[in-house]
Amino acid sequence: MLTIYFIGLGILWIVYDRLLLSPLSKIPGPPLASATRLVLMYYEFTRRRRRWIHQLHVKYGPVVRIAPDEVSFANWDAVKEIYVSDGSGYDKTSFYHLFDNYEHECMFSTLDKTPHGERKKRFSDRYSKSFIMQAEVMDGIRERAEGFVARCTEKAGVAADIYIYLHCYALDCITYHLYDPHGIRSLTEAPDLMKVKELLYHDNLQDSYSQYYFPKLFRLLSRVSRRADRSRRLSAQILNTARRSDISNHTVLSKFQSSSEQLETKSIASELLDHAIAGIDTTGDGLCFLLHHLSLPASAGIQEALRAELAESASVPLDELPYLDAVVKEGLRCFSPIPMSLPRRVPKGGRTIAGAYVPEDTIVSCQAYTLHRLDASVFPDPEEFRPERWLKEEGALERNQLFFAFSTGGRGCIGKHLALLEMKMLLREVYSNCRTRVAGEMTASMEQDDQIIASRPIGQKCLILFEKTV
């Protein structure tokens, strides 16, 4: 009885300390979530973290306490402080070790900004806009975009499942950029298509959170149950490819191999695998949501306006087509493929973020889903798909500040320019040659289904009819 009494007293003291004595006690949020992390974990394991956090921001405002040691923010002041200030923003949390490969860090999973910067320098030029816009890179992406259209139109009047084919396109593009001529060709080669399907239909959300919160137990259970690795085929291929010397000069792997300071093979392979999986998950899902929306009856006017710009500007460079750019940005705003929180750790000494003091080691984050919706003065009618909002000069600065599809700052998405090229090239090939509409038999849900940081359609199917216009 005495033991129960002391346990109860200890729990009460913890709750009192977190709710009233903590420096975070002045930050609004649900009292129970401020007292125990179990609340946040519940929403994470039930794949509702993103929506729960967004509703908290709607209720409490741009600064919300979501756990005893974690705060979510949703305004530009916080984005600037967390992700842009002091070079690369605040250091990452151990959450990012979920993205290690072959038991080696990659750039994305490197926690401290200094080693991250050193790693980034090894290959960052391969993702610069000037490099991406070179003919050798663009020609490879164009070839694969043409292959996508050919695949979707090979049977007239028959709907194509673009969920599969867009992920094939995304993986074919990124592996071409990573290690051509040994890149995947899943749009044309059946064995490579199996690699894509292995990646697409595996759900590892609960396993990933279990690994994060209970690493020792997860490792034990993994040895017993021999859990399947979603990237088994791809990871084996990339590890073998990382040892090859017959690689094209334009590739990321070539850049690694030409470096005066050589990394071990598994370290290079970890980087390549991270880029490949990031490429298929982000570009593939982002394009799937966007093409589905453009194929709805309500988007007929948008589709026609896009087609008209493409027809009138056939020889104009992709990055000089304003309506195409607006369609892509609005797609990434509404259906951001990385809509989830990107956690960081507050540096030593604590910081004041968006007017709220936050002590050192507190986990802080912003999520694109909320940044793209919360401030109606920046994004009026945020649930409406309106490419025209990006064509207005008024409010352009504020819109671009809150545009978080690629994160921002020194640790923002290094593949931004490649992803935008892939999206724009695909849309140009599709709508220069076809009209699209959602197939009558399409019943799968296109609601966003949360993964760890990414999001994909719940139904994992998207049937679209392609009608050739030329």
Per the annotation, binding residues for heme are 413
Q: Using CA of residue 319, residue 464, residue 283, residue 51, what is the dihedral sign?
A: positive
Is 357 buried (19+), middle (13-18) or exposed (0-12) by CB count in 10 A?
middle
Please give the annotated binding residues, written as ranges: 413
HSE of 78, CA atoms in CB hemisphere, 13 A: 29
Cα–Cα distance measured from residue 78 to residue 410, given in angstroms and rounded to the nearest whole number: 15
Neighbours of 226 (CB within 10 A): 8
Cα–Cα distance measured from residue 65 to residue 362, given in angstroms and rounded to the nearest whole number: 11
Cα–Cα distance measured from residue 376 to residue 62, given in angstroms and rounded to the nearest whole number: 13
Q: Using CA of residue 408, residue 340, residue 427, residue 190, what is the dihedral sign?
A: positive
